[in-house]
Amino acid sequence: MPIPIQKTFTYSITEDEAIFLQKGMRVAVSFGKSKMYSALVLNIHQTKPTLYEAKEIHQILDEVPLVNELQLQHWQWIANYYMCSLGDVYRAALPSAFLLESETIINKNEAFTEEDILADDEFLIFEALQHQSQLTIHQVAAILGKKKVMPIVNSLIKKTAITIKEEIYEQYKPKLVKYVRLHSNYSSDDSLGNLLEELSRAKKQREAVLGFFQLSASKKPIKAKELEEKANVSSSIIKSLVDKNIFEFYHIQTDRIQFKGDTNDLKKLNEFQEKALSEIKETFTEKDVTLLHGITSSGKTEVYTKLIQEVLDQGKQVLFLLPEIALTTQIITRLQFYFGEQISVFHSKYSMNERVEVWNNVLENKPKARIILGARSSIFLPFSNLGLIVVDEEHETSYKQFEPSPRYNARDAAIVLAKIHAAKILLGSATPSLESYFNAQQKKYGFVALNRRHGNVQLPKIELINVKEKQRKKEIKGHFSDRLLKLIQEALDLKEQVILFQNRRGFSPVVECKTCGVSPQCPNCDVSLTYHKFRNELRCHYCNYQRSMPNSCGACGSNTLDNKGFGTEQIELELTQLFPDHKIGRMDLDTTRGKYGYQKIIGAFEAREIDVLVGTQMLSKGLDFDNVTLVGILNADSMLNFPDFRAHERAYDMMVQVSGRAGRSKKQGNVAIQTYNPFHQILQQVSTTNYAEMYKEQLQERWQYKYPPYYRLIKITLKHKDYNKVDTGVNWLFKALYSSFGEHVLGPTAPAVSRIRNQYIKNIVIKIPPKQSLASTKKQLKKIKDTFEAVKDFRPIRFITDVDAY
Ligand code: ADP
Ligand code: ZN
Ligand code: ZN
């Protein structure tokens, strides 16, 4: 069942059903008093449950298994390792259209018009939706006077007559593209001559026909739109030719994710890439996992493509994992350039129907799903024949899912997935995670280094600017030192582009009263609100609460509210004043909403419509702009002073990655880092791009303070709206854990933001020493959790277990 319960359940089926049914098919079942779910068949057996009477299933929902054995094996691993139910994994894995349940809400698809293809029951529901904007599956059952309605709803979805309500996704629009062809009357060359003669007086129509012939030289279907543009005629001209039976229209339902354009030959690898490639293949003869440490702009993507091609040639599937798809449209375009229609993209921002489409294509091993490019959730797809997994930017935190369960790390789960398929897996990064590098050093993984930028461009020159000194000498304007301003001016004078990195969005993170020192707080969370200038409002970045900017302080009434600190919006404003003749752009969460939000900004910057781009850490994600010669990091210190054991590693990654955006094509780039603390060891390591030293030093600290990769971490979080309840619960839990694990239990602590959406939060961390078994630790923890949940007072408390919580 797609629910967070550890158990599986037995339902009864008839003999006929038993013959038809296979593992991995879905069945509609009722559960509890009135719930209906799409359950997954895990086993078909003849053992009666002893504790309850097996109910009958409602119906079988699939003709063939939707989930294969390899997936089930993988999901089971995820459930065990991350301490969640198999149902949690099932729910996370399937596009929601496959998970119909009694509470699912359906809507009419307004664009649907072919009512005549609907069966009677289907039509009844469709009609009911004319009067009522939405229905639950429960209500559908009531309307039809029967319980067994899932297949009817399924069929309505398939026929695109209805959609499932999913607020976060964009609404589905069937995408029918109108094409034009010649009417069958006119196929021979002879009649064409006549045709043109006939039209000699209708000048526009004649032009349309001529345009059509020019386009048809390419032997591809001709879109009506395309013809209008080519012949420079209106749609009514083409329509009139259709009315005359000269043209006819036809429609093709295109896949919603479509590749346009031609594929190209793979680039020729340079000698260093060639060497890396052969080393990778060499390591693969002994190891299943290999880490590719390739500096920024060394051309890792080109190396991947060669490996991918070889696996495709063996007839196997490839999974290419990316941290955040929306940010990596460039890499999608590049891979599509090589592999064209063999690529499908899978991402949670795509609509339900797009995801269903990809799922089915992978399941059927269709040629267009030979390479799956996807974010973390694509590890759940029904692969049957994986030959290679590439995890690009393997160090990225977005591979980890924190909420909801399963709280998995897609890189780690992908390693297990590869093992299940007997496939190879390549982890790539310019700044590998300490864990992966450690595993490579321990010879658990193969290791290959690529230390040259393509074209032998040197890594950028990195200089540290001491802000404290600049302030003392009054050489600072707003948030810019004179040195950084000079570098920006020089780049702009040469018509080059600039990236400025400011790891905070909004205008100024915190507003503070100068009289009494109080900052406006979020009413739902224990955190200060952030000022957003554009809308003149205050917002909570945790729960999205917003209010207009008050005129006076809520605590003392004085009108002395002031900005403290700075964010992207403020930097953008200062820049427009400092460089009024140049176009300034901004890329952060606020400017990139919507499916194409990133693409627009990235596209504008590529097209050089923007001279200076200000942004948050989004800018550090593998972007490739050839005209950027300067990268400025405005406030390095905010990244270093972060209460997290990985803060320094992350700060190094982020700075090296953004720096890597400078000087990628011809000439060496510049990087300027403003800081109050230029002697900080991490900044020194960034300025010399000394990964090895960073690694050595961080590793020592990890050992000393008992952190990964030496110790494993399990984090437990308790949440409830009543503070006292959480507090009592967490103290009980701490004692119980302490008696099992002793000094390796840390806490209980309140996180930096100790209340979110009115829920109070407490954490406990369990550290697991290298020699202590992970499995038995989890078993013990599970026992304690069960005891905790058996206490009536604690039952309403949310108990969250996060394995490898980093
Ligand atoms: P990385 O991912 O390692 O930062 P990329 O794969 O983005 O590097 O490559 C950097 C740039 O160099 C890209 O614009 C890419 O097209 C170009 N490039 C890399 N290798 C080659 C090659 N062998 N031939 C031509 N161009 C290349
Ligand atoms: Zn809030
Ligand atoms: Zn005040």
Q: Which atom of ligand 1 is nearest to the CA of 295?
A: 3
Range with top average pLDDT, 130-139, 282-291, 344-353, 747-756: 282-291
Percentage of residues in the chain having pLDDT higher than 70: 92
Nearest-CA residue for ligand 1 atom 19 is 299
Q: By three-state DSSP, how is residue 643 classified?
A: coil
CATH superfamily for 457-507+579-689 is P-loop containing nucleotide triphosphate hydrolases (3.40.50.300)
Ligand 1 in contact with 669 (CB < 6 A)?
Answer: no
CA of 358 to the centre of ligand 3 (A): 55
The pLDDT value recorded for residue 219 is: 61
Q: How far away, in angstroms, is 755 Cα from ligand 2 center? A: 9
Nearest Cα residue to 346 out of 253, 417, 256: 256
* Start-to-end C-alpha separation, the chain: 29
Measure 322 CA to ligand 2 centroid, in angstroms: 30
- Residue 174 CA to residue 168 CA, distance in Å, equals 18
**Domain boundaries of the chain, sorted by first residue:** 15-66, 102-168, 184-245, 271-454, 457-507+579-689, 508-565, 712-803
Would the CB of 67 count as within 6 Å of ligand 1?
A: no
Pick from 190, 179, 251, 253: nearest CA to 212: 179
Average pLDDT, the chain: 87
* pLDDT for position 64: 92
Is residue 424 within 8 Å of residue 388, measured between CB atoms? Answer: yes
Ligand 2 centroid–CA 565 distance in Å is: 20
Residue 454 Cβ inside 6 Å of ligand 1? The answer reads yes
Cα(729)–Cα(733) distance, rounded to whole angstroms?
Answer: 6
List residues bridging with 563 in a β-sheet: 511
Which one-letter amino acid corresponds to residue 678?
P
Q: What is the pLDDT of residue 465?
A: 95
**Ligand (nearest to CA of 299):** 1
Q: Of all atoms in ligand 1, which is nearest to the CA of residue 269?
A: 23
For the stretch 3-12, pLDDT in tens is 998 899 999 9
Express the helix, strand and coil content of the chain in percent, nearest 5 each. Answer: 40, 20, 40
Looking at residue 492, what is its pLDDT?
95
pLDDT mean over 779-785: 96
Task: Tell me how far the alpha carbon of residue 756 lies from the centroid of ligand 2, in angstroms.
Answer: 6
The Cα–Cα gap between 152 and 140 comes to 9
- In this structure, what token pair is assigned to residue 636? 């390095």
User: Please, which residues have CB within 8 angstroms of residue 761's CB and are 6 or more apart in sequence?
Assistant: 717, 718, 719, 726, 750, 751, 753, 754, 755
Question: What pLDDT shows up at residue 259?
Answer: 43
**Contact yes or no for 542/522 (Cβ under 8 A):** yes
- Asked whether the predicted pLDDT for residue 588 surpasses 70, the reply is yes
Question: pLDDT (tens digit, 9 = 90+) per residue, 282-312?
Answer: 999 999 999 999 998 899 999 999 999 999 9
Q: DSSP label at 653?
A: H
| Nearest alpha carbon to residue 327 among 541, 588, 93, 567 | 588
Give me the phi and psi of 675, to 5 degrees please: -155, 155
Which residue has a Cα nearest atom 10 of ligand 1? 297
Residue minimizing CA distance to atom 9 of ligand 1:
299
* Residue whose structure tokens are 């020729």: 268
The Cα–Cα gap between 38 and 380 comes to: 18
Specify the DSSP class assigned to residue 455.
G
Q: Which atom of ligand 1 is nearest to the CA of 296?
A: 4
Which residues make beta-bridge pairs with 27?
39, 60
| Chain centroid to CA 159 | 29
What average pLDDT score do residues 207-218 get?
A: 84
Widest Cα–Cα separation across the chain: 97
Q: What is the dihedral of CA 594, 599, 605, 607, to 10 degrees?
A: -130
Q: What is the DSSP letter of 536?
A: T
The residue type at 12:
S
CA dihedral for 665, 668, 671, 672, sign (positive or negative):
negative
pLDDT computed for residue 563 by the predictor:
67
3-state class (DSSP) for residue 148: coil
Cα distances (Å, whole numbers) of residue 672 to 453, 574, 593: 20, 18, 29
CA of 515, nearest ligand number = 3
Summarize the confidence of residues 226-239 as an average pLDDT.
Answer: 89
Owner of token pair 């595993």: 439
Mean pLDDT of 537-563: 84
Measure 402 CA to ligand 2 centroid, in angstroms.
18
What's the pLDDT at 565? 55
- Residue from 309, 320, 454 whose mutation best tests the ligand 1 pocket (most atoms within 8 A of CB): 454
The pair of structure tokens assigned to 725 is 């309840």
- Ligand nearest, relative to CA of residue 298: 1
Judge if the beta carbon of residue 267 lies within 6 A of ligand 1.
Answer: yes
Nearest to 297 by CA among 691, 666, 682: 666
Using DSSP, state whether 195 is helix, strand or coil: helix
Q: Can you tell me which residue has the tokens 């012939």?
A: 213
| 457-507+579-689 and 712-803 share one fold | no
Atom of ligand 1 nearest to the CA of 301: 6
Return the ligand 1 atom nearest residue 626 CA.
Answer: 14
Residue 92's H or E segment, with its range, is helix 86-93
The amino acid present at 722, given as its one-letter code, is: D
Q: Cα torsion for 674, 677, 679, 683, to the nearest 10°?
A: -50
State the sign of the Cα–Cα–Cα–Cα dihedral 216, 219, 222, 227: negative
Q: Is 328 in the pocket of ligand 1 (CB under 6 A)?
A: no
Residues sharing a CB contact under 8 Å with residue 237, sequence separation 6 or more, in sequence order: 204, 205, 208
For residue 565, which of 496, 630, 519 has the smallest C-alpha distance?
519
Ligand 1 atom closest to the CA of 331, numbered from 1 = 7
257 has pLDDT over 50: no
d(CA 753, CA 763): 12
Per-residue pLDDT for 539 more than 90?
Answer: no
C-beta 296 within 6 A of ligand 1: yes
Distance in Å, CA 363 to ligand 3 centroid:
61
User: Per-residue pLDDT averaged across 98-109, rounded?
Assistant: 85
Check residues 193 and 572 and name the one with the higher pLDDT.
Answer: 572
The residue ranking higher by pLDDT, 546 or 166, is 546
Ranked by mean pLDDT, the top range of 169-178, 361-370, 443-452 is 443-452
What is the whole-number distance in angstroms between the Cα of residue 671 and the centre of ligand 1? 20
Residue 566: C-alpha distances to residues 221, 298, 508, 642 (Å): 53, 34, 4, 17
In degrees to the nearest 10, what's the CA dihedral of 492, 493, 494, 500? -20
Task: State which of 297, 304, 620, 623 you would mutate to test the pocket of ligand 1, scoring each by most atoms of that ligand within 8 A of its C-beta.
Answer: 297
Q: CA 702 to CA 646: how far, in whole Å?
A: 9
Q: Whose CA is nearest to atom 23 of ligand 1?
A: 269
CA proximity to 422, closest of 379, 387, 370: 387
Rounded distance from Cα 300 to ligand 1 centre (Å): 7
| Residue from 402, 378, 380 nearest 324 by CA | 378
Q: How far is the CA of 624 from the centre of ligand 1 (A)?
A: 9
Q: Give pLDDT, residue 450.
A: 96
Q: What is the DSSP letter of 203?
A: H
Least confident residue range of 291-295, 431-435, 527-531:
527-531
CATH class of 271-454: alpha beta
Q: Once rounded to an integer, what is the mean pLDDT over residues 724-740?
A: 96
Backbone angles phi, psi at 13, to 5 degrees: -135, 160
- Higher local confidence (pLDDT), 576 or 115: 576
Give the pLDDT mean for 255-279.
72
pLDDT for residue 136: 87
Any ligand 1 atom below 6 A from CB of 269: yes
Give the number of the ligand closest to the Cα of residue 553: 3
Asked if residue 157 lies in contact with residue 164, where contact means CB atoms within 8 angstroms, the answer is yes
pLDDT digits (tens, 9 = 90+) for 474-490: 999 988 999 999 999 99
How much is the pLDDT for 258?
42
Is the distance from the beta carbon of residue 302 to the nearest atom of ligand 1 less than 6 Å?
yes
Tell me the CA–centroid distance for residue 382 and ligand 2, in Å: 38
Take atom 18 of ligand 1 and give the residue whose Cα is closest: 299
Mean pLDDT, rounded, for 715-724: 96
What is the arithmetic mean of pLDDT over 225-247? 89
Residue from 277, 296, 302 to probe ligand 1 pocket by mutation (most atoms less than 8 Å from CB): 302
* pLDDT value of residue 171: 35
Q: Which residues are annotated as a binding site?
A: 513, 516, 522, 525, 540, 543, 553, 556
Binding-site residues from annotation for Zn(2+): 513, 516, 522, 525, 540, 543, 553, 556
**How far, in Å, is the centroid of ligand 3 from the Cα of 546?**
20
Q: How remote is the CA of residue 266 from the centroid of ligand 1, in Å?
A: 12
Which ligand is closest in space to the CA of residue 273? 1
Q: Which atom of ligand 1 is nearest to the CA of 267?
A: 24
How many helices (H) and strands (E) the chain has is answered by 26, 34
* pLDDT of 553 higher than 90: no
- Residue 49: what residue type? P
Answer whether 424's CB lies under 8 Å from 290's CB. Answer: yes
pLDDT score at 643: 67
User: 712-803 is classed in which CATH architecture?
Assistant: 2-Layer Sandwich (3.30)
**624 pocket-lining for ligand 1 (C-beta < 6 Å):** yes
**pLDDT score at 169:** 35
pLDDT, one tens digit per residue, over 623-646 is: 788 899 999 999 888 778 766 788
Bridge partners (DSSP) of residue 652 are none
Rounded average pLDDT over 683-701? 95
User: pLDDT over 90 for what percent of the chain?
Assistant: 52
**Sign of torsion, CA 179 184 189 195?**
negative
For strands 670-675 and 461-466, give the pairing: parallel
Pocket mutation for ligand 1, best pick of 291, 301, 431, 457 (most atoms within 8 Å of C-beta): 301
Position 12 scores a pLDDT of: 95
pLDDT tens string 33-92: 778 899 999 999 999 999 999 999 988 888 899 999 999 999 999 999 999 999 999 999
Peptide bond into 174 cis (omega under 30): no
For residue 255, what pLDDT is reported? Answer: 41
